[in-house]
Structure 1
Amino acid sequence: MSYKIILVHVDESRHAKARMEFAASMAMDADAHLIGGATTGMSREFIEWIGFDEKALDLDRLSDMLRERAEQSLTQFEIIVRRTGVASFEKRLIEDDLSAGIAMQARFSDLVILTQSDPRDSASGVSGSFPETVVMESGAPALILPYVHDFKYVGERVLVAWNASPEARRAVHYALPLLERARIVEVVVFNAEAQPGIFGDDPGADIALYLVRHGVKVDVLQRTVTSDTGSALVALSNELDSDLIVMGCYGHARLRELLMGGATRTVLKSMTCPVLMSH
């Protein structure tokens, strides 16, 4: 298994350059086709709705401005990709709302690369719920980069958060191309003694065996915590010097409002290393 189609979110935010450079390096390493996706930020529904209004001329000017900004971002993407030497890539201008547009394109990609929401970067126009919205609505795995550090490479020492859920299982499966190349993968199970019916007599052993049969070097850790498991996971990743966390994304969407699980919300807020997440 390998990533053959990688999508990266392209915009003019302060972290865009680092994100595009990371994606280009990953595409080079995986010999993958890289898609740079930039949205205009205007949904089709909005355009159709206001198209009947007498202010349509103003809308045309706004659309042109937003399209020009997206095209400028894609030009920077092409410069970075060509400099890196990626053999197969394309620029994709998406005439849609940010979250909906990237989520739609992610459905046809093996992996989408995003950046953690940065509250200091208010000028980017990216909402705080953007990464999780893409994960929840696309069905694709997302590799989310933290805004506090620039990472050139991930996957040397990986921490897998295992709770035997379908979401965690999908995240592990999608992460296999990285796990198979990792120097060490540590699987952590939190508070297993409180859920014996889920984990069995040897918590973590089944998923460890699955990974070993894929040629992955695995250690299993069992931790008992009284704090939020999201906080415990981030603290453990710092303790182990992990360069990637693999975990499920928990929650559901209701009337376009995301209701996120506590661990997911905590990790997305306080992560210090990249996170591969899948719903």
Structure 2
Amino acid sequence: MTYKTVLVHVDESERSNFRVRIAAEIAMADEAHLLGTAVTGVSRFIYQDGNISASDPNLTIHLNFLRERAEKAVASFNKIAQELGVLSYESMIANDEAGGGIGLQARYSDLLVIGQTNHDEPSPSVLSDFPQYLIMNSGRPVLIIPYAGDFTTVAKRPMIAWDTSREATRAVTDAIPLLKRADLVQVAIFNPKAVLDAHGEQPGADIAQYLARHGIKVEVSVHKTSTDIGNALLSLAHDLDSDMLVMGGYGHSRFREMIMGGVTRTILESMTVPVLMSH
């Protein structure tokens, strides 16, 4: 099981080049194709409906501005991919808003790499709920890179937040190509008795056995907490020197509004390491 196509969202944010390098390293490890996609931030449906008038000079100036930003982003992506020696890569610009454009490309990718929302660096082409939207709608694992902090490694010492749910199961399976290259995978279980009969007599034994069959070295730890589990996960990841968190993404959408579960919301807002989420 390997990734064959890794998609990374590129833009003019400060961390764009950083996540391109992470995506490139993952792609090269699996000899996968690396696709860097920038978006203009204008819905493709507006173009299709013919609602954009070329006669409006102010609109033309704004569209040109958005296009130039996207062109600079893909040019930077191409330079980094070439410098790193990525054997198979391409870049593209999607005339769409970020959720729709990247979400559509994700359908044809094995892994999606994006950035955490930074409210101190608003983007003219990316809405603040971009990560939530892709987790819920892309149908692919989403690796979210924090907007702060340096990470010399990713997925060498990952931690799995395991609660036996469908979402967590999907995330673990989606992360296997990364987990197989890890030095050690920590499986963290919080308050196992909160879900009756879900974990069995020995919490973590089944998931550890499943991962071991894939040749993955695993350690399981069980924890009790009466505080917020999201913050408890981040604290444990720090204590274990984890360099990636793997977990299910919980929530649902109501039209464009993303209504996320408490743990998911906490992690998306306060992550200190890259997080791979699947829904």
How does the TM-score come out when normalised to structure 2?
0.94
SS in 2 for 1:219: strand
Q: Which residue of 2 aligns with 1:87?
A: 87
Listed one character per residue, the Cα deviations across residues 76-132 of structure 1 (whole Å, up to 9, x for unaligned) are 111111011101111111010111111111111010111111122125653332112
More off after superposition, 25-34 vs 203-212: 25-34
Partners of 2:17 and 2:52 lie apart in 1 by 38
Residues 50, 56 of structure 1: 8 Å contact kept: no
Residues 97, 125 of structure 2: 8 Å contact kept: no
Gaps of 5+ in 1: none
Q: Which residue of 1 aligns with 2:11?
A: 11
Offset of 1:56 from its aligned partner?
A: 4.9
Q: Which residue of 1 aligns with 2:177?
A: 177
Gaps of 5+ in 2: none
SS in 2 for 1:235: helix
2:219 counterpart of 1:219:
yes
Residues 13, 124 of structure 1: 8 Å contact kept: no
Q: Which amino acid aligns with 2:193?
A: E
Listed one character per residue, the Cα deviations across residues 113-156 of structure 1 (whole Å, up to 9, x for unaligned) are 11111122125653332112111110100111111213243111
Listed one character per residue, the Cα deviations across residues 41-92 of structure 1 (whole Å, up to 9, x for unaligned) are 0002234557276965543443333222211211111111101110111111
More off after superposition, 57-66 vs 128-137: 57-66
Offset of 1:206 from its aligned partner?
A: 1.0
Partners of 1:64 and 1:122 lie apart in 2 by 19
Partners of 2:167 and 2:18 lie apart in 1 by 28
SS in 2 for 1:199: coil
Q: Which residue of 1 aligns with 2:237?
A: 237
* Aligned-residue RMSD, C-alpha: 1.7
How does the TM-score come out when normalised to structure 1?
0.94
State percent identity of aligned pairs: 47
SS in 2 for 1:27: helix
Q: Which amino acid aligns with 1:154?
A: V
More off after superposition, 222-231 vs 147-156: 147-156
Partners of 1:208 and 1:229 lie apart in 2 by 21
Q: Which amino acid aligns with 2:92?
A: R
SS in 1 for 2:188: strand
Partners of 2:176 and 2:74 lie apart in 1 by 30
Partners of 1:47 and 1:109 lie apart in 2 by 25
SS in 1 for 2:220: strand
Q: Which residue of 1 aligns with 2:154?
A: 154
Listed one character per residue, the Cα deviations across residues 229-253 of structure 1 (whole Å, up to 9, x for unaligned) are 1111111101111011100000011
